[in-house]
Structure 1
Amino acid sequence: MKFSELNLPEPVQQGITETGFTDCTPIQEQTLPLALAGKDVAGQAQTGTGKTAAFLIALFTKLLQTPREGKDRQPRALILAPTRELVVQIEADAQALGKHAGFSIQAIYGGVDYMLQKNALKEGADVVIGTPGRLIDYLKQKVYNLKSVEALVIDEADRMFDMGFIADLRFILRRLPPYDARQNMLFSATLNQRVMELAYEFMNAPTKVSVTPEKMTADNVEQILYHASRKEKFPLLLGLLRKEGMERTMIFINTKREGEFLYDRLNANGFPAKVISGDVEQRKRLKILEDFKSGKLPIMIATDVASRGLHIEGVSHVINYDLPQDAEDYVHRIGRTARAGAEGKAISLADEDGAFYLEAIEEYIKHKVPVEWAEDDMFVHDYIRVKARPRVEKPVGKGKPGQGRGNDRGRSGERTRHEKKGSPTPAAAQASPVAGAGEGEVKKKRRRPRKKKPAGEGTPA
Structure 2
Amino acid sequence: MKFTEFPLPEPVMRGITDAAFTDCTPIQEQTLPLALAGRDVAGQAQTGTGKTAAFLIALFAKLLKEEKQDPAKRPRALILAPTRELVVQIEQDAQLLGKHAGLTIQAIYGGVDYMKQKNALKEGADVVIGTPGRLIDYLKQKVYTLKHIEVLVIDEADRMFDMGFIADLRFILRRLPPFDARQNLMFSATLNTRVMELAYEFMNLPEKVSVTPEKMTAERVDQVLYHVARKEKFPLLLGLLRKEGMERTMIFVNTKREGEFLHDRLNANDFPCRIISGDVEQKKRLRILEQFKEGKLPILIATDVASRGLHIEGVSHVINYDLPQDPEDYVHRIGRTARAGAEGKAISLADEDGAFFIEAIEEFSKQKVPTEWAEDDMFVHDYKRTARPKPKPKPEAKTHGKTHDRPHAKPGEAAGEVKKKRRRPRKRKPAGNGEKQGDGGQKQE
TM-score (norm 1): 0.87
Partner of 1:97: 97
Quote the Cα distance in structure 2 between the aligned partners of 1:144 and 1:132.
Answer: 14
Residue of structure 1 equivalent to 2:247: 247
Structure 1 counterpart SS, 2:12: helix
Q: Residues 314 and 337 of structure 2 are in contact (CA less than 8 Å); yes or no, is this contact kept in structure 1?
A: yes
Using the TM superposition, give the Cα deviation of residue 175 of structure 1 relative to its aligned residue in structure 2, in angstroms. 0.4
Q: Which has the larger radius of gyration?
A: 1
Displacement of 1:203 in angstroms is 0.1
**Which residue does 1:419 correspond to in 2?**
410
Deviation >4 Å, runs of 4+: 420-423
Name the counterpart of 2:329. 329
- What corresponds to 1:146 in structure 2? 146
1:327–1:416 Cα change, 3 Å: closer
Report deviation, 1:71. Answer: 2.4
Offset of residue 422 of structure 1: 5.9
Give secondary structure in 2 for the equivalent of 1:231: helix
Q: Residue 315 of structure 1 aligns to a residue in which SS?
A: coil
Q: Deviations over 1:43-78 (max 9, x none)?
A: 000000000000000000000011223422211000
1:45-56 to structure 2, matched below 5 A, reads 45-56=45-56
In structure 2, the CA distance between the partners of 1:394 and 1:20, relative to structure 1 (3 Å rule), is: farther
* Map of 2:274 onto structure 1: 274
Question: Aligned to 2:397, which of 380, 383, 405?
Answer: 405
Verify: 1:379 aligned to 2:379, yes or no. yes
Residues 149-188 of structure 1 aligned to structure 2 (within 5 Å):
149-188=149-188
2:21, 2:186 → 1: CA distance? 22
Q: Over residues 16-36 of structure 1, what are the superposed CA-to-partner deviations in whole Å (9 max), with x where a residue is unaligned?
A: 011100000000000000000
Q: What is aligned with 1:212? A: 212
Residues 387-428 of structure 1: CA deviation (Å, up to 9, x unaligned)? 122221355xxxxxxxx23179xxxxxx986236769xxxxx
Provide, for residues 235-286 of structure 1, a one-character-per-residue CA deviation record: whole Å limited to 9, x for no partner. Answer: 0000000000000000000000001001000000000000010000000000
Aligned equivalents of 1:222, 1:116: Cα separation in 2:
44
3-state DSSP class of the match of 1:390? Answer: coil
Change (3 A) 1:417 1:274: closer
Over residues 72-96 of structure 1, what are the superposed CA-to-partner deviations in whole Å (9 max), with x where a residue is unaligned?
A: 2211000000000000000000000
Structure 2: how far apart are the matches of 1:200 and 1:111?
33
Residue 183 of structure 2 aligns to which amino acid in structure 1?
Answer: Q
RMSD: 2.1
Please give the alpha-carbon distance, in whole angstroms, between the structure 2 residues aligned to 1:175 and 1:235: 54
Corresponding residue of 2:87: 87
CA distance in 2, matches of 1:129, 1:405: 46
Aligned to 2:348: 348
> For residues 236 and 370 of structure 2, what CA distance do their matches in structure 1 show?
17
Q: Distance in 1 between matches of 2:165 and 2:413?
A: 55
Looking at structure 2, the residues matched to 390 and 343 of structure 1 have their Cα atoms a distance apart, in angstroms, of 39
Q: How far apart, CA to CA, are the structure 1 residues paired with 2:296 and 2:412? A: 62
Alpha-carbon distance in structure 2 between the residues aligned to 1:280 and 1:234: 24
Structure 1 residues 69 and 272: CA distance shift in structure 2, 3 A: same
1: CA distance, partners of 2:126 / 2:410: 65
- 1:122 — aligned with what? 122
Alpha-carbon distance in 1 for matches of 2:37, 2:154: 19
Residue aligning to 2:63: 63
Distance 1:358 1:66, change over 3 A: same
SS in 1 for 2:251: strand
Q: 1:106 to 1:394 in 2, by over 3 A?
A: farther
Q: How far does the alpha carbon of each residue in 1:147-174 deviate from its partner, in whole angstroms, 9 at most, with x for none?
A: 0000000000000000110000000000
Partner SS for 1:164 = coil
| C-alpha distance 405-416 of structure 1, shift in aligned 2 (>3 A) | closer
Contact 2:35–2:41 (Cα < 8 Å) also in 1: yes
Distance 1:67 1:48 in 2: 33
- Cα pair 2:398 2:408 within 8 Å, conserved: no
Rounded to whole Å, the distance in 1 between the matches of 2:411 and 2:121 is 60
Matches within 5 A, 1:224-263: 224-263=224-263
Q: Which residue is 1:15 aligned to?
A: 15
**Alignment partner of 1:305: what SS?**
helix
Distance 1:387 1:335 in 2: 32
Aligned ranges 1:306-321 → 2 under 5 Å: 306-321=306-321
Helix, strand or coil: the match of 2:371?
A: coil
Amino acid at match of 1:382: D
Cα offsets for 1:313-341 (capped at 9, x unmatched) = 00000000000010000000000000111
What whole-Å deviation, never above 9, does each CA across 1:190-240 have from its counterpart, x for those lacking one? Answer: 111000000000000000000111110122100000001110000000000
Q: Which residue number corresponds to residue 436 of structure 1? A: none
SS at match of 2:372: coil
* Number of aligned residue pairs: 416
Distance in 1, matches of 2:390 and 2:308, equals 31
Q: Report what 1:411 is aligned to.
A: none
Provide the rounded CA distance (Å) in 2 between the counterparts of 1:80 and 1:29. 23
Shift of 1:303: 0.5
Rounded Cα–Cα distance in structure 2 between residues aligned with 1:109 and 1:246: 33
CA distance 1:356–1:421, shift in 2 (3 Å): same
Gaps of 5+ in 2: 401-405, 415-421, 428-445
Counterpart Cα distance in 2 of 1:83 and 1:131: 6
CA displacement at 1:368 relative to structure 2:
1.1
In 1: Cα distance, 2:394 partner to 2:87 partner: 31
Structure 1 residue runs of 5 or longer lacking an equivalent are 396-403, 409-414, 424-441, 448-461
User: Where does residue 359 of structure 2 map in the other structure?
Assistant: 359
Percentage identity across aligned positions? 80
Q: Is the 8 A contact 2:399 2:408 kept in 1?
A: no
Q: Structure 2: how far apart are the matches of 1:351 and 1:99?
A: 48
Q: Secondary structure at the match of 1:319?
A: strand
Write the distance in 2 (CA, Å) between the matches of 1:110 and 1:156.
Answer: 18
TM-score calculated relative to the size of structure 2: 0.91
SS at match of 1:232: helix
1:366: Cα distance to partner? 1.1
- Whole-Å separation in 1 of the counterparts to 2:180 and 2:393: 52
